[in-house]
Amino acid sequence: MAATLRLQKELKLLLKSPEPGIVAKPSSSTNILDWYFLIDGPKDTAYDKGKYLGKILFPKDYPFKPPGIIMSTPSGRFEPGKKICMSMSDYHPETWNPMWSVSSILKGIQSFMADNEITAGSIRTSEQEKKKLAKESVAWLVRNAQFRKVFAELIDAMEEEERKRKEENNETNE
């Protein structure tokens, strides 16, 4: 299966040469087609300092067909749990390029986050709401069962980041 070989190769590359602000891996050792990712919000935007969990659903004929992309973390940009329409997603197979990798897809999502184009899976909110959600994103991740399952190795760092954020803002534990 071409998809399995390609995704195994991409996973090795991501582990060997990680991209700043991007973590991605298959949801389980038995399903290489479903991946979870964690991306940092784009710098100098309302999403800056936010961390966002999402899922990439690769088709069996990847890389010849595009994946579905779903964001999970509330961001004010994408509707949580809904597929996102973008040129790199299964909404637009006509614009898909088989040379695109997991890494380029995730960079594309970061870039698309900063754009205001309204498409399927996107929502409109104020800059203030986006900043509020970015600030709350780490606390959301720490409470999210899927994040805790897939990215267990990141929980301590996320909890520490949230503790520091609360300390800086003189917030008490809930």
Catalytic residue set: 85
Yes or no: say if 15 and 143 are a contact pair by the CB < 8 Å rule: no
